[in-house]
Structure 1
Amino acid sequence: QTLEKLEKNVRDGKFYEAQQMYKTIFARYMASKKHTEALDLLQSGASIQLRHGQVTCGVELGLLLVEGMTTIKLAYGPEALDRIKAVFKEFPRSPTLEAQYSTKTLIEGVSTFMKAAIRWSSEFGAPSRGSPELHELLADFLARESPQPDLAKAFYHYVRGNNPSAFASAIISGMLEPEEGDLLLARGVFLYLSMGNLRDANKLFDELHSQLKDSSQASVLASPLTHLAKFILLTLERDALPLFRMLRENYKSSLDRDPSLNELLDVVAEKFYNVQQRKNGLFGDLMKVYSSLTPRRKKKSIL
C-alpha cells in the first residue's frame, strides 16, 4: 500500500514530494531493521523516478539503495546484482527535446550510480576490481550514449569486464577515422595486457580480426601496428623479453604515433617480465594512460 501511494505521487508528477517520502520511509525501515523492505522501497522508487525521466531523483535513490546494501553488508550474488540491474535498465537513453534532463546529467548519473555499485560489489564478494557484469553494463552505456568520444571511460570498464566480443564491437563502431582504426585496436589489446589479461587480449584480437576481415575497414588488419599487436601476443606466450624489446624497437615509428602505447607496453613489461623502469608505479601509469585516450578530434559518437 505504501509503494502504491508513492508510485501514484510520481505518476501524478509530485516528484519532490514522493522523493522526500521515499527517503523518510527508507530511514524508518532501516532503523527498524526491516532491511528487505527498505531495499525493495528504494529499488522501486529509483526505478519509477527514472521511468518518468527524473534522473537526478532516480540517482539519489539508487545511491541510497547501494548505501543500504553496504550498511547491511549484503553479499554480492545474483539476487543483489538483480537489484542494481533493475535500476540500471530504467535509465532513459538518448534524451528527447522534451526531456527534463541533459545528456551530461544522464551520463554522470549513470556513472555515479554504477561506480557506487561496483565499489559495493568489490567489498562484498565480487572480484577485487568489482563485478565484471557491472563494468560491462557501464562500458556499453558509455559507448552507446555519450554524445562525444570518451574512450578513456568506456575502455576502462570494458577491460574490467568479461566480454571481449562487446569490446571489439565498440572499438569497430569507433573507427570513424580509417587511419586511426589500428590505434584503437592496439589500445584495446594493450590495455588488456596491462591488466595481465593475456587470455582476453587474444580473444579481443581474434574477435576484431573476425569482424574486420570482410568489412570496409579490413585495411586496419594490414597496418604495421596491428601486426605488432599480434606479435606481442605471441611473444607473451613464452619467456621472450629480448624479442619483446626487439619488437618495440622495430615498430618504434608505429608506436610513436600515440605516446600511450609505449606507456602501456612499459606496464606490460613489468606485468609479464618484471621489468622495473618507471617511478610512478603501475596504478599511476595506468591512470596517465587512460587520461591520454581522449581523441584529438571531436566526433559525433563514441566508439
Structure 2
Amino acid sequence: MSRSMSMRSRRDLPPPEKTIEKLENMVAGGNYYEAQQMYKSTSARYIAAQKYLEALDILQSGALVQLKHGQVTCGGELAVMFVDTLVKGALPYYEETFDRIRKIYDAFPRISVPHFLGDDYDDDGQKLSEAISAAKVRAESCSSFLRAAIRWSAEVGTSRNGSPELHVMLAEYIYSESPETDMTKVSSHFVRGDDPKKFASMLANFMGKCYPGEDDTAIARGVLMYLSQGNLKDANLLMDELKDLLKSADLEIPKTDLIQFIKYLLPTLERDAYPLFRTLRQKYKSSTDRDPVFEELLDEIAAKFYGIRRQNPLEGLFGDMFRI
C-alpha cells in the first residue's frame, strides 16, 4: 500500500463512538459472537492506523458490555486485547489507564460457588458441576487479563514486579472466585502488592473455612514470602494486623510449633544474628518441612538478610511462585 493510500485509510476510519454504539446494540440484542468478531476486526484497523486511543475505547467498551451480559470468555478476550494494545502503542502507566483496567476488572462476574448442596441442586450434582466449571472460566479469564496487565505495567517501569495494585486485584479475584483456591499463588500476589492489611483480612477469612492444619501453614507462607523479598516491615504488619482481626472476633493465631518459629524468626531478622537464625532453622526443621517451599524461602531469607548466597538462586519451587 502506498503512503498516500495509507494516509487516506487513516482519515477514512469513522469516529469510534458510532462503532461503539452499533456494537453495544448488537450485544444487547444477543448477537454476542457476531459483535465479538466486529470488535476484533474494527479495533485491528485502528491499531494498524496507529490510532491506539480509539482502539482502546472500542476494546474497553466491548469488554464491559460483553461481561455485563455474562459473556465472560468474549469479555475476557477483549480485555486481554485492551492490554495488548497498551503494549503495541507503548503507552505509559497513567492513573487514568489504571482506572480503565480497574473498571474492566470490576465488570468480571463474582458468583460464589456453593459449598453445600441444597434443594436447587439435583442428586447427581450436575448443577454444582456446572457452577464449578463456570467459576473456573471466570477465574481464568480474569487472571489472564490481570496477568497481562501486570506484565505491561512491569515493562513500562512502574515496578520491577509490576503494579502492586494490580497484584492485589489478582490475589483478591483468585481467592474469592477460584473453586479450588491456590493459596501459594494468592499469597505470592499479595506479597508483591501494597496492602498487607487486606492480605491479613483474607488470611483471617481463610482460617474460618480451611481444613485443620492449613491455617498456620498459610500464615507462615505469607510471612516467609514477604521476608524472602527482604520486606520485614510488611511481614510484621501482616502478623500484627492478623492478631488484631482475630482478637476482635474472639479468636487467636494458632499455637503451633510453626507459628512459634515465625514469632522467633521476626525479631531475629532485626539483628545481625545469623547463628541464631541457623539455630532456629535446625530446631524447627520438622515444622518447616511440612511445606517443601519453606526451605527455599528460608534460603532466600538468609541471602537477603545475612548475605548467605544460595547455590541456585530463584530456581525450583521458589522461582515458580513468583512467576506472573
In the superposition, the TM-score normalised over structure 2's length comes to 0.83
Cα pair distance change 1:243/1:120, threshold 3 Å: same
- Structure 1 residues 241-294: Cα deviation after superposition (integer angstroms, max 9, x where no partner): 111111112223322333322221111111211212433x22434135679xxx
Q: Which amino acid aligns with 1:59?
A: G
Picking from 67, 70, 90, the partner of 1:50 is 67
- Structure 1 residues 20-77: Cα deviation after superposition (integer angstroms, max 9, x where no partner): 1111211222233322211111001111101111111111111111111111111012
Q: Which residue of 2 aligns with 1:295?
A: none
Instruction: Quote the Cα distance in structure 2 between the aligned partners of 1:7 and 1:50.
Output: 12
- Structure 1 residues 194-226: Cα deviation after superposition (integer angstroms, max 9, x where no partner): 111111111111111112235454151x33322
SS in 2 for 1:213: helix
Contact kept in structure 2, 1:42 and 1:62, CA below 8 Å:
yes
Contact kept in structure 1, 2:150 and 2:162, CA below 8 Å:
yes
Cα pair distance change 1:252/1:213, threshold 3 Å: farther
Contact kept in structure 1, 2:191 and 2:226, CA below 8 Å:
yes
Q: Which residue of 2 aligns with 1:161?
A: 193
Contact kept in structure 2, 1:264 and 1:289, CA below 8 Å:
no
Instruction: Quote the Cα distance in structure 2 between the aligned partners of 1:121 and 1:283.
Output: 24
Q: Which residue of 2 aligns with 1:265?
A: 298
Structure showing greater Rg: 2
Q: Which amino acid aligns with 1:123?
A: E
Q: Which residue of 2 aligns with 1:294?
A: none
- Structure 1 residues 163-194: Cα deviation after superposition (integer angstroms, max 9, x where no partner): 11111111122222343322211111001111
Q: Which residue of 2 aligns with 1:8?
A: 25
Instruction: Quote the Cα distance in structure 1 between the aligned partners of 2:89 and 2:242.
Output: 43
Q: CA deviation at 1:153?
A: 1.8
Q: Which residue of 2 aligns with 1:71?
A: 88
* Residue 209, structure 1, aligned to residue 243, structure 2: yes
Q: Which amino acid aligns with 2:75?
A: G
Within 5 Å, which residues of 2 pair with 1:111-150? Answer: 111-150=143-182
Q: Percent identity?
A: 49
Contact kept in structure 1, 2:172 and 2:186, CA below 8 Å:
yes
Paired residues in the alignment total 288
Aligned Cα RMSD in Å? 2.1
Q: Which amino acid aligns with 2:246?
A: L
Picking from 33, 36, 48, the partner of 1:19 is 36
Within 5 Å, which residues of 2 pair with 1:190-209? Answer: 190-209=224-243
Instruction: Quote the Cα distance in structure 2 between the aligned partners of 1:187 and 1:278.
Output: 22
Contact kept in structure 2, 1:225 and 1:251, CA below 8 Å:
yes
Q: Which residue of 2 aligns with 1:40?
A: 57
Moved more, 236-245 or 256-265: 256-265
